[in-house]
Amino acid sequence: MAITKVLIRAPQAPERLAAARMTGRYLVTIEPDAHREISARLNKVGIKSAPPLPRVATSAKPLADGSHLTLRKVGVALVDPKPEQEDALHRFAAQERAVIALEPERIVRAVEVDRASDYLRGWRDAVDALAGKLLEEQRPPAPVPSEAAVPGATWGLAATKVTSTQLSGANIKVAILDTGFDLSHPDFAQRQIVTKNFVGDQQPFHDGVGHGTHCTGTATGPLHPASVQRYGIAFEALIFSGRVLDDTGSGGDFNILQGIDWAIEQGCDIASLSLGAPWVPGDPAFSPAYESAAQHALAAGCLLVVAAGNEANDPRFVGAVGTPGNSPSVLTVAAIDRNLATAPFSNSSATGCARGKRTRSRGARCRRVFVMAGEGGSLQHDFRNQHGHTARCWHCGTVRAGQSEHSWSGAQGHDTEPLHGSAKRRCAQG
């Protein structure tokens, strides 16, 4: 099977850049341990190294034209070339052995979660298998019907059997990479939350959309909320909230990659990305930059849980899983409807995996891992009422956190293969 270096040039015209939802900057995926070498050689061609985001920084700063910034823990550099440097950058990437890929930076968005009744309120066999492992059951239970609620808890918690376990996510580090978090939320007044702002809008850490707060609530909400039924899963997990999307719910790829780099640095066990960019014909099967980040994360014991996307009904797209959910080394969450079939709006098809070609992604192989998870229920008490992939993504991710508390060493990601195996048995067709 041929191994191809991925080299993609961004459109030159500003209107084409905007239409393609690109920033004009580039992601350079680098071979392991070659970041210093590549940074030095970029300096030699006039693309100067920029300082990393300080640990105590409250907001990111825009990258200067003609400079680059390398993320060692995910094996990716961001390059913002001046117009006269673009040709030199492409020659550099084509010639350098340690460069795996050069691709334009996309603009990604929080996955739409404002659809209502069409989202299934349940999990299917894949997530039942995860819940079964969590509870040490020999056989996964049948899906919980939507009518079978548990008093004092949302339907999603009943479906995942969270209410039947003593596990709490204690000492498990859960990262939410999203629009931020409302630090004034009363249900989290006694929780320690580590925050980091990767959005260069010069605003302090906050959540201007509500999406990240919703994700955090479903993932790590309290055992006994002040005035509503229980809505959160890992109520004793350690929370790491990275603001990677701005107040429109959008952000560049590098924001997200910085967030993943930070989650690895913090020793997180789970990282959620309820966000993405649609895949269109002509795109590579997956982004080498995100695949590099996912592989580095797994090697550090951190599993990335990513939403599949909701573009299947959009005539502009083909229903393929978006970026970064199409990366082979992440756990991708899709939707099912009330009939336990793939939801009509949910992305579920692969993106060119079986085309006789493999990109240079350090041995990455295509997997169809589309986990079907359920709605988290209405999150009251200042949480937005949101449904769909976000709720599913976080029910899935934090059941995984419960598994981590119970049995995962978190050292080298060795427990991911059984997870992928159970998920593949219930993958979406197509």
Task: Dump pLDDT digits (tens) for 9-35.
Answer: 998 888 888 888 999 999 999 999 999
Residue 75 · residue 32 · CB < 8 Å: yes
Residue 185: per-residue pLDDT: 94
Beta-carbon contacts of 261 under 8 Å, excluding residues fewer than 6 positions away, are 71, 72, 73, 74, 293
Residue 100, CB-side half-sphere exposure with 13 Å CA sphere: 26
Query: What are 257's two structure tokens?
Result: 């990659």
SS3 215: helix
Please choose, from the candidates 103, 244, 249, 108, the residue with its C-alpha nearest in 3D space to the C-alpha of residue 177.
244
Query: Residue 285 carries which DSSP code?
Result: S
Task: Write the single-letter amino acid at 390.
Answer: T
- Say how far apart CA 91 and CA 93 lie, in whole Å: 6
Closest CA to 110 of 257, 231, 215, 219: 215
Cβ neighbors of 308 (< 8 A, separation 6 or more) are 276, 321, 322, 325, 332, 333, 334, 335, 346, 347, 348, 370, 389
Residue 183 in this model has a pLDDT that exceeds 50: yes
Helix (H) or strand (E) holding 133: helix 125-134
pLDDT one-digit tens code per residue, 24-67: 999 999 999 999 999 999 999 999 999 887 766 666 778 899 99
| Dist. CA 350–CA 347, nearest whole Å | 9
- Number of neighbouring beta carbons within 10 Å of residue 153: 17
- pLDDT of amino acid 19: 81
Q: Which of 86-90, 133-137, 405-409 has the highest mean pLDDT?
A: 86-90
The neighbour count for residue 296, using CB atoms within 10 Å, is: 22
Strands of 193-197's sheet, edge to edge? 193-197, 238-243, 173-178, 270-273, 303-307, 331-334, 370-372
pLDDT tens digit sequence for 186-197: 999 999 999 999
125 residue type, one letter: D
By residue count, the chain amounts to 430
| Contact status, residue 415 vs residue 406, Cβ threshold 8 Å | no
Write down the pTM of the prediction. 0.79
Report the C-alpha gap between 127 and 374 in whole angstroms: 9
* Mean pLDDT on 162-179: 92
Q: With bands split at pLDDT 50, 70 and 90, how would you rate the model's confidence at 341? A: low
Q: What is the pLDDT of residue 337?
A: 60
Which tens digit of pLDDT belongs to each residue from 212-258? Answer: 999 999 899 999 998 889 999 999 999 999 999 999 999 999 999 99
Q: What are phi and psi of 225, to 5 degrees?
A: -60, 160
- The answer to whether 402 touches 419, Cβ cutoff 8 Å, is no
CA torsion, ordered 11, 13, 15, 16, to nearest 10 deg: -20
Cβ-based neighbours of 338, under 8 Å, separated by 6 or more? 118, 120, 121, 146
For the chain, give the mean pLDDT: 76
Amino acid code (one letter) for 151 = P
For 79-91, the pLDDT digits (tens) are 999 999 999 999 9
pLDDT at 346: 81
State the pLDDT at residue 31: 96
* Closest of 322, 313, 314 to residue 273, by C-alpha: 322
Q: What is the DSSP string of 316-368?
A: TS-SB--BTTT-TTSEEEE-B-TTSSB-TTS--B-SSTTSSEEESSTT-----
